[in-house]
Amino acid sequence: MPEYAFPWPHPDWWNVPAAKLSEAGEGRDMLTLTWTNGDNTFDCQAYWQVPQGVGPFPAILLLHGGGGQAFPDWGQEWVDRGWAALTMDLRGKSLHGNPLPNGIPPDSEAHKFRIGDHHGYADWPYMATGMAMMAHSWMLSHPEVDADRTAWMGVSWGGYLGLLVSGFDQRFRVGASAYGAGGLMESSMWSSGFSKMNEAARSAWNAHYEPITRLASTQFPLLIRSGARDLAFHFKGLRDTALKIPQSHLAIVPDWKHGHVPARQDRTITQFIERLGAWPEIGLPRISPRQILLPYTGQLAGARAFLHYCSSDQPGPEADWHSVSVRIWDGHLISPTLPAVAKYGFWTVEESSGWISSRLATIPIS
């Protein structure tokens, strides 16, 4: 009978792991992290890049999505901003793309949507979480890192992973997920895949590997940047995730192309991290019969504001979102009320500087 009882998270993951640095060329190093637990040894590799000059520097942990890898140019982009960068490879492979003899499980659906009976060694969420936390432990021990200014950024499954880690590791100052969210069982492109698991395994997976079950304890600002019609992580899961985060910040538009390149080029994410979560916010709505008044703390000169809503019960990639322009006046958004057919809604301000800030609408609004 499966027990699904194993250390989660493992106490080792807060410790500095065994690590080996070697030159990888072009001004970067290859880091190999090793975790040994009893008779089991696991390796994970990453690029480590540090700006020139005198530190300590803020440092960022970069977590790729499905189909991705440790992109060294992604780390270089953050080095150019003055940050040290640790760009992880979460596929169970070397930085050259070859399987590691003691690598973590591959980031395949077969290893994502499973849970071990008595340990998580074959579960990608378990092992990727452990390696990410130990990578952070290693970064914090590094003399060139400012331990008070560490961040993570994840794309798609890397965003999911960063959120899962954030439920445990409160040593970060800030984190940002592009696309990735929780609510996978009921609001994602993989929802039907969970039907292959029996009821006990689904319940255990949800208790262990669903970020929403962990995020209420997060003590630092988290940004979720996505599109309401995202093909992978659907809007309801994004909304339910954000509602569980004490210091959640949202940047949502109806459509945003899913991929590593749009995420890496996004000014909202980079500014949120560089400013350590100092974020212009849309305040709580004040309701009147004909309009909704929402304060805004950012720069409204040249900004655009919108109310977006849809009537679908499960808004996915094909959902019909309606957008209405919102008037900006005297530090406030003056929005029309939502129609009675609306099931989901959100307001968004798009500043001329590239900032995007959103607030979810509680429906019915009260």
Question: What are the domain boundaries of the chain?
Answer: 11-274, 286-360
CA distances from 1 to 20, 118, 121, 123, 200 (A): 40, 10, 18, 18, 10
In the chain, the percentage of residues whose pLDDT exceeds 90 is 87
Token pair belonging to 174: 């800030």
Mean per-residue pLDDT for 335-346?
92
**Contact residues for 87 (Cβ-Cβ < 8 A; gap 6+):** 46, 47, 49, 62, 64, 70, 71, 72, 74, 75
Between CA 243 and CA 178 the distance in angstroms is: 17
pLDDT band, residue 353 (cuts 50/70/90):
confident
pLDDT band, residue 222 (cuts 50/70/90):
very high
Greater model confidence, 361 or 195? 361
pLDDT surpasses 50 at 154: yes
Between CA 158 and CA 128 the distance in angstroms is: 9
pLDDT surpasses 60 at 366: no
Between CA 125 and CA 213 the distance in angstroms is: 14
Residue 292 in contact with residue 286, Cβ under 8 Å?
Answer: yes
Query: pTM of the full predicted structure?
Result: 0.96
Confidence at residue 55, expressed as pLDDT on a 0 to 100 scale: 87
Confidence at residue 117, expressed as pLDDT on a 0 to 100 scale: 84
Residue that has been written with the tokens 């992580």 in this structure:
233
Range name among 115-119, 179-183, 254-258 with the lowest pLDDT average: 115-119
Which class is 11-274 in CATH? Answer: alpha beta
Name the DSSP class of 195: G
Instruction: Output phi, psi for 324, to 5 deg.
Output: -125, 130
Residue that has been written with the tokens 């970067």 in this structure:
28
DSSP-based helix, strand, coil % in the chain, nearest 5: 25, 30, 45
Residue 364 in contact with residue 339, Cβ under 8 Å?
Answer: no
Q: For 227-257, write each residue's pLDDT tens digit.
A: 999 999 999 999 999 999 999 999 999 999 9
Neighbours of 341 (CB within 10 A): 9
pLDDT surpasses 50 at 77: yes
Confidence at residue 158, expressed as pLDDT on a 0 to 100 scale: 98
pLDDT band, residue 364 (cuts 50/70/90):
low
Confidence at residue 1, expressed as pLDDT on a 0 to 100 scale: 41
State the chain's mean pLDDT as an integer. Answer: 94
Between CA 31 and CA 175 the distance in angstroms is: 22
Confidence at residue 263, expressed as pLDDT on a 0 to 100 scale: 98
Confidence at residue 42, expressed as pLDDT on a 0 to 100 scale: 98
Token pair belonging to 303: 């900004």
Q: Is 151 exposed, middle or buried (0-12, 13-18, 19+ CB in 10 A)?
A: buried
Could you tell me how far CA 164 lies from the centroid of its own chain?
8
Residue of 74, 80, 103 lying closest to 90 (CA atoms):
103
Confidence at residue 2, expressed as pLDDT on a 0 to 100 scale: 59
Q: For 9-37, write each residue's pLDDT tens digit.
A: 999 999 999 999 999 888 899 999 999 99
Greater model confidence, 118 or 56? 56
Confidence at residue 195, expressed as pLDDT on a 0 to 100 scale: 84
Mean per-residue pLDDT for 290-312?
93
Mean per-residue pLDDT for 338-365?
88
Mean per-residue pLDDT for 212-241?
97
Token pair belonging to 196: 């292959």
Between CA 191 and CA 326 the distance in angstroms is: 35
**DSSP one-letter string for 293-315:** EEEB-S--TT-EEEEEEE--SS-
**In 265-303, at which residue ranges do the beta strands (DSSP E only) sit?**
286-287, 291-295
Task: Tell me whether the omega of the peptide bond preceding residue 221 falls within 30 degrees of 0, making it cis.
Answer: no
Residue of 314, 125, 104, 108 lying closest to 207 (CA atoms):
125
Q: For 309-335, write each residue's pLDDT tens digit.
A: 999 998 999 999 999 999 999 999 999
Mean per-residue pLDDT for 113-123?
92
